């Protein structure tokens, strides 16, 4: 029996690249462009292990007709991570792979002077990680949506644009041609990019983003399709895991609501917009009138 939302991917899985030379020693950035930084031998092993783990998760599905479609950042370390992950999958399981510039790493500037970067990153902690823009580089906010006047129609170039084209690919069945297959989209990217993707998808605030921790090398976040057509992190991941990632109890409750929510529903118990701005506002016109008349609003 098909899922009522069988045209949607069963999972969208965000994977951070394996350990890189830059993770091991930031001096690597002083001589090597960021996009050319290589994986360490440990990073290659992490990626092979991640591939095994992902394969085991997917092959445990009730529907044995599962398939995968990969998106990968164009950086050497993400491409190498995908190559190692790919060893776990037979070609018949892979629908396709696309290199996707919009899930690349944040631009920290060109060759990076070690001592200067140390000072810059300390400034970022004081300024705030979301809006801080690296000299000659980008901020996390730029990754969400960069308007580039040189691009036709000034289309958004980063995460927002990627999400739009991702949904277009899904709607037009470019990545999912056979409804009997369970499709899994796997995005091999970078820590910050994964956090920004989740922020935009789940409509988290900047303040909530600031509390998120970076995924470890080759860690993944699995967004799984719930019964009503919404995606949730809570189907595959535990409360403890999500707390470790920096999600608040309210954000975790929202993920649990999404497990059963109908697509397009609004979570009225999701407090971080209404309560943030309108917690001082009366619940109803009558309550406001009662306050103006000096009444408590309770029956006499």
In a domain, 237, yes or no: no
Asked, for residue 290, whether it belongs to a domain, the answer is: no
Number of domains observed in the structure of the chain:
1
Residues with catalytic function: 17, 105
How high is the pLDDT of residue 239? 98
Mean pLDDT, the chain, whole residue set: 80
Average pLDDT over residues 242-254: 96
Residue 131 pLDDT: 56
Q: Confirm or deny that 67 is annotated as ligand binding.
A: no
Considering the domain boundaries, does residue 38 fall inside one? yes
Structural domain contains residue 101: yes
223-235 mean pLDDT: 96
Write down the pTM of the prediction: 0.78
- CATH assignment of the domain containing 112: 3.40.50.1240
Q: Is residue 273 part of a domain?
A: no
Task: Tell me if 2 is assigned to a ligand binding site.
Answer: no
- What percent of the chain clears pLDDT 70, i.e. is strictly above it? 69
Question: Binding residue per annotation — 295?
Answer: no
| Confidence category of residue 22, pLDDT binned at 50, 70, 90 | confident
Between 221 and 113, the higher pLDDT residue: 221
Higher pLDDT, 8 or 280: 8
CA 291 to chain centre: 45
Greatest CA separation for the chain = 78
Tell me, yes or no, whether 257 lies in a domain: no
The reply to whether 23 sits in an annotated binding site is yes
Token pair recorded at residue 108: 């920290």
∠ at Cα 17 (257, 200), nearest 5°? 35
- State which residues form the domain around 126: 11-225
Whether residue 6 is annotated as binding a ligand: the answer is no
Residue 262 domain-assigned (yes or no): no
Cα–Cα distance measured from residue 150 to residue 178, given in angstroms and rounded to the nearest whole number: 38
Residue 86 lies in a domain: yes
């Amino acid at each position: 029996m098909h899922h009522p939302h069988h045209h949607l991917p069963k999972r969208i899985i965000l994977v951070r690249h394996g350990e890189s030379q830059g993770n091991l020693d930031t001096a690597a950035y002083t001589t090597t462009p960021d996009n050319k930084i290589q994986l360490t031998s440990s990073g290659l092993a992490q990626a092979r292990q991640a591939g095994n783990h992902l394969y085991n998760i997917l092959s445990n599905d009730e529907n044995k007709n599962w398939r995968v479609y990969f998106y990968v950042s164009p950086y050497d370390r993400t491409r190498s991570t995908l190559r190692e992950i790919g060893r776990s999958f037979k070609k018949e399981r892979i629908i396709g792979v696309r290199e996707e510039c919009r899930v690349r790493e944040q631009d920290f500037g060109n060759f990076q002077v070690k001592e200067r970067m140390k000072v810059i990153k300390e400034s970022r902690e004081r300024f705030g990680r979301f809006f801080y823009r690296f000299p000659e580089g980008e901020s996390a906010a730029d990754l969400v949506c960069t308007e580039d006047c040189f691009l036709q129609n000034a289309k958004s170039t980063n995460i927002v644009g990627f999400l739009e084209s991702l949904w277009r690919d899904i709607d037009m069945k470019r990545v999912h041609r056979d409804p009997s297959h369970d499709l899994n989209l796997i995005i091999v990217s970078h820590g910050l990019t994964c956090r920004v993707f989740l922020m935009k998808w789940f409509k988290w605030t900047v303040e909530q983003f600031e509390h998120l921790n970076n995924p470890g090398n080759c860690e993944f976040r699995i967004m799984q399709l719930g019964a009503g057509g919404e995606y949730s992190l809570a189907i595959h991941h535990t409360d403890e895991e999500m707390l470790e990632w920096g999600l608040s109890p309210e954000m975790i409750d929202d993920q649990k609501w999404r497990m059963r929510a109908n697509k397009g529903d609004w979570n009225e118990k999701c407090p971080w917009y209404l309560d943030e701005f309108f917690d001082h506002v009366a619940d109803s016109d009558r309550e406001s009138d009662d306050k103006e008349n000096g009444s408590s609003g309770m029956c006499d």
